[in-house]
Amino acid sequence: MNISDIKYNEIQYDFSSSLNPFGMPLAVKKAVLEAAKNCTNPIDSRYDNLRRFISYYEEFPESNIAIGSGGDDMIYRICAAIRPKKAMIFSPCSPEYCRALEQNGCSVTDIRLSMKNNFKLMSEVAEFIDYDTDLIILNNPCDPTGEVISPYTLGAIAEKCRRTNTIIVCDERYMDFVNGVVRYSVSRFKGIRFILVKSFTRMFAMAGIPVGYALCSHRTMSDVLRSTGAPHSVSVPALAAAETAVGMRKYMRLTQKYIEIERNRLAVSLTNLGVRVYPSKSSVFMIKSDLPLDMLLRRRGILIKNCAEAYDLDEGYFRIAVGLKENNDILLDTLGKIIQMF
């Protein structure tokens, strides 16, 4: 049987998804259902209420916040609004970065991160940034590894971008799952131009009603982002879901603690099975194996992400999202049986 012959509806356990394993909170579900009754009402295209809520919880100026329909939408809006002539990305990362930049006529330099450093962004990459570099996109935490950029490396990059007047776009969509978020955010550094991209999608399992937002260091950036792209891109139910979710800090803290415990347990167990596990501080992590684990697991109703297909890495790299404990146990048990067979 070919792996492509296996239908998605035959999958019982999906570890390729990066959504919160606890699913959408009940309060958010209720907000969506209630908002569905008001879908005939017009939407405020500035999303003032949501921006006010985000401003309060992020402790960030309301005027410097822009809203869009998910993280990818924000990436595309940023590239369309700024229209950089020369940009830099660091792989592995989302293929949408390159697509969004090239779609707007940008020349893209792709710096391939070394497997010797566990695909971790190092401070030396700052040397590649010059006065012709209009914009760089950082992936923090990295997707697919789940590892964060160290404060030292962030500082080196921020300082170089300050000197070259380069805009830093930092995709922080996985940062909600990380303990000690502030230490790893580029917003700590002064005198730089930055745009942080965030989303409600992963933490609150809102894949079907995506809402993303950007925190901009300068108001001129947020103004141009709000005027770029289609207005009313966020639906009434999605807006209600985001307005409810933004204040659920206890839910986020509980999720962070759970993810940390289960991720570490999975890493130890997989290492004991002889699988190479890469460091992570988020809800996803990357493994390496000589076996075609995605195919072997999919035949048993379990889905993981093949990084060769999704992130243009060599064969043998796979991304796993932390799931519920009972599902994680099934994954470990199934992998143990597969490895014993070989």
How far apart are the C-alpha atoms of 192 and 183, rounded to whole Å? 17
pLDDT exceeds 80 at position 9 = no
How far apart are the C-alpha atoms of 125 and 160, rounded to whole Å? 10
Note whether 164 and 131 are within 8 A (CB). Answer: yes
pTM score, whole prediction:
0.94
Which pLDDT does position 1 carry in this prediction? Answer: 42
How far apart are the C-alpha atoms of 334 and 338, rounded to whole Å? 6
Q: Which long-range contacts does 323-326 make (Cβ < 8 Å, 24+ apart)?
A: 323/13, 323/15, 323/21, 323/262, 324/21, 324/22, 325/262
Strand partners of residue 285: 320
Indicate the pLDDT class of residue 6, thresholds 50, 70 and 90: low
- Judged by average pLDDT, the poorest of 52-66, 110-124, 175-189 is 175-189
Note whether 191 and 165 are within 8 A (CB). Answer: no
